[in-house]
Chain A
């Protein structure tokens, strides 16, 4: 699975959009970009995933560049409950397609 690079930390004011970047320059054509978040000491929570098109669900939007070498997770209206570590993961879909977690981005949402 391709490696990802994320900034170690970011701050965001409550009510504003949080834009979390991720670089995955070695991604292969059949690999998806997944985003999970982990609130302190809880299990990782699935947020969204995509292959090449932009995706949106009730939690967030995922913007993938045309060359697929980077992506951005957007939380449109961040709240204090969005404070967490966000992991960007590149993953294939074959058997035993594990998730390889990096160090993620620690997002701090403030008043």
Chain B
């Protein structure tokens, strides 16, 4: 158990809808990263949040957005859902100290199915 929790565990949406996924960081961590894992592939980096601001982004369109709250929890929002957005969404928390970013610990993920 890493102490990173995600909700919901599973979700079904239809094309064009919007979805919000949630993540609670491990105690003491201040950075949250989000990853998308399509079936049969490795996780792909979406973006990272530190001090409530986006701090790095992968190759994902603007309809993927996020928030980080003062308690370091985070949300991933996806607008205008497409069928290809069906995937396991993973959040990972870590501690950023000065110039060193620590080990990322993952939550169990949210499985999203877009019909």
Contact = CB atoms under 8 A, between A and B. Distances in A.
Interface of A: 34, 36, 41-46, 49, 87, 93-104
Nearest to B42: A101
Interface of B: 2, 4, 33, 35, 41-45, 48, 50, 55-56, 58, 88, 90, 92, 96, 99-109, 111
Contacts of B48: 96, 98
Contacts of B105: 46
Contact of A43 (B33, B50, B107): B107
B50 A95 contact: yes
B48 to A, nearest CB: 5
A6 to B, nearest CB: 11
B43 A46 contact: no
B76 to A, nearest CB: 14
6 contacts: A36-B106, A41-B111, A46-B104, A99-B33, A103-B42, A104-B42
Given A44-B43, A87-B42, 15 more contacts: A36-B106, A41-B88, A43-B4, A43-B106, A43-B107, A45-B2, A46-B2, A95-B50, A95-B55, A95-B96, A97-B101, A98-B45, A99-B35, A101-B42, A104-B42
Which secondary structure characterizes the binding site on chain B?
A: strand
Nearest to B39: A41
A93 B108 contact: no
7 closest A-B pairs by beta carbon, nearest first, are: A96-B56, A101-B42, A43-B106, A98-B45, A97-B101, A93-B100, A44-B106
Contacts of B92: 43-44, 99
Contacts of B45: 98-100
Nearest to A49: B103
B90 A43 contact: yes
Contacts of A97: 101
Given A43-B106, A46-B105, A96 B55 contact: yes
Nearest to B105: A46
